[in-house]
Structures are given as structure tokens and as C-alpha cells.
A and B are shown apart, each in its own frame.
Chain A
């Protein structure tokens, strides 16, 4: 992780909150007004791969409530792929892009390529991360997610939640309960479900909605340290 104890305070610049704006077009964010004799780049602030762990109070302070509420958990500063087909929008999963080196911390909303949906990188917390921009995604803790338009099983509070792996379109990067907890599991299914497992629902999942949250434990995201 390219961070250290003595780095300056992470800056939000144009966006006042952690879940507002469409991402930093310049690495680390741009200054809206540049004082004389100060370099315009703010690269000493946020770097790709930086992490935040927020407590309850921190998450409250950094939430743009017109967009949504943030909760305790870990967040990482990543780069949204500039040439992606899909767009990283709020509540959807993004994946590590294996087409570039890991140190770029580049993510893509597309469920294609060699990584497909195997390398879960986090959940988008702002309305949109513009393609080619940098912003924070949530990797563990409680987070609002967008469910598949028609979930496979009957939704229930507390049930296991998985990636829907819908491929493309409106359900790109959404979440699903599959058969719910009642589906008989086979070893083939077990491997798939282990790979796609995200966490447990907190609140009743709603078809096509982003009304409730999932609790993502540590170790589910394929962490880039």
C-alpha cells in the first residue's frame, strides 16, 4: 500500500463528501483554485491503493446524504478503466482489471476479460465514477448495493448474497440471492458460490433496487495490498 503514517490528510477537493462527485480526473484530485507558486497537481494526497478505515462517526461525517449513507468499513482509492464498456455506478461491483499491472489499482465494471467476475475489487459508493477517473470504492463493512432486477430466490433479510454475474446491461455488477438458503448445494455449486459470495443481506433485498445493504466481511474482496 503506497500510504504511510506521515502522509498529508487525504483530500476530497471538488467533492465535499466521500460518496459525491464522479471521481478525480487527475490523480489525487485537482485544486479548484491554484495559489501562485504551488504546483497544480495534488499527487501527494490520495494515491491509487490508499486505504481508509472509517468508524461510525467518520462515515457519518463523510456521507453525502443526498446520494446515500456510508457505514463503517474499509475503502480503497482506485482507477476506473477509461475504456470500459459499462459504467461504474453506485451499488454495483467493480473488478480488478488484469490487463494492467496490479500496482495501477485499475478496476473495471465489465464482467468480461480474463478476470471476468473472479476478482472482486469493491462496491461503488458515489453516483458514478467517470471512466478514467480515480475514486473510492468500499471493500468491507456495510454498504448499499444494487440487486438484480429479478432475483433468483425469494428475498429475505440476513440471507447470503452473491454476485449476479449477469454479464452486461442493466444487471451489470448487481447482486443476487440465487436460490436463497434453501437450495441444495452440490460440490460444483459450492465452488461457484464460494467464488461469488459477497456477504449477508442487512435489510430485505429489493428486486432492481438499491434500498438495502450488505455486510461484506474481510477477505471477500481480492485485496491489493
Chain B
């Protein structure tokens, strides 16, 4: 999809800024969090936005995955 019209570093910066802004929305906005979790699953959200979830939740998720 991308022809990297941007310098690769700028692409990475913009991508990370987008992820951080979304993580902030997931952390602070219950409606946004519910919508993303419903659409993509809680575990996917934990992987994408670890800063939005407490460490204990992430550890439980990790153990669950290992036990499967």
C-alpha cells in the first residue's frame, strides 16, 4: 500500500505517534476501549497497547496463551 513517499524514519515516527494516540484513547476513554476490544479482541488490544493495560492483566494473558 505504501510507496514510502516519506523517509522511513518519518514513517516510523508517524506510525508510532498514531499507535500512542490510540493507546491513550484506549486507556482513558471507556467507549473507545470497548469498541476496539469488541472489534479486535482483548488480547490483540493488550499486545498493541500494553501501556493501556495493567501489568497483571498482561501477565494473565501471557500465561493463558502459553497454556493453550
Q: Give Cα A61–Cα B27 distance, bound, in whole angstroms.
A: 10
Which of chain B's residues 19-54 have a Cβ closer than 8 Å to chain A? 19-26, 29, 32-33, 35-36, 39-40, 44-45, 48
Is A55 on the interface with B (CB-CB < 8 A)?
Answer: yes
Distance from A68 Cβ to chain B, minimum over Cβ atoms (Å) = 14
Count of interface residues, chain B, beta-carbon cutoff 8 Å:
34
Highest count of chain B CB atoms <10 Å: which of A12, A16, A58, A219: A58
Distance A218 CA – B3 CA, assembled complex (angstroms): 7
Q: How far is the CA of A223 from the CA of B45 in the complex (A)?
A: 31
Do residues B14 and A4 form an inter-chain contact, with CB atoms below 8 A? no
Residues of A within 8 A of B55 (CB): none
Identify which of A45-53, A165-173, A190-198 touches chain B: A45-53
B63: Cβ under 8 A from any A Cβ? no
A53-B14 contact, Cβ under 8 Å, with A16-B29, A65-B35: yes
Contact indicator B13/A4 (Cβ below 8 Å): yes
Q: Taking the complex as formed, is A203 at the interface, i.e. its CB lies under 8 A from any CB of chain B? A: no
A218 near B35 (CB under 8 angstroms)? no
What's the tally of chain A residues with a CB closer than 8 Å to chain B? 34
Q: Does the CB pair A61–B5 fall under 8 Å?
A: no
Tell me whether A60 and B14 are in contact (CB under 8 A): no
Complex CA gap A59/B19 in Å reads 9
Q: Knowing A53-B14, A65-B35, say if A10 contacts B21 (CB, 8 Å).
A: yes
Instruction: Report B-chain residues with C-beta under 8 Å of the C-beta of A219.
Output: 3, 5
Verify A57–B17 contact, CB threshold 8 A: no
Q: Which residues of A contact B15 (CB under 8 A)?
A: 53, 55
Asked if A187 CB lies within 8 Å of chain B CBs, one says no
> In the bound complex, what is the Cα–Cα distance between A65 and B24 (angstroms)?
18
Q: Which residues of B contact A18 (CB under 8 A)?
A: 21
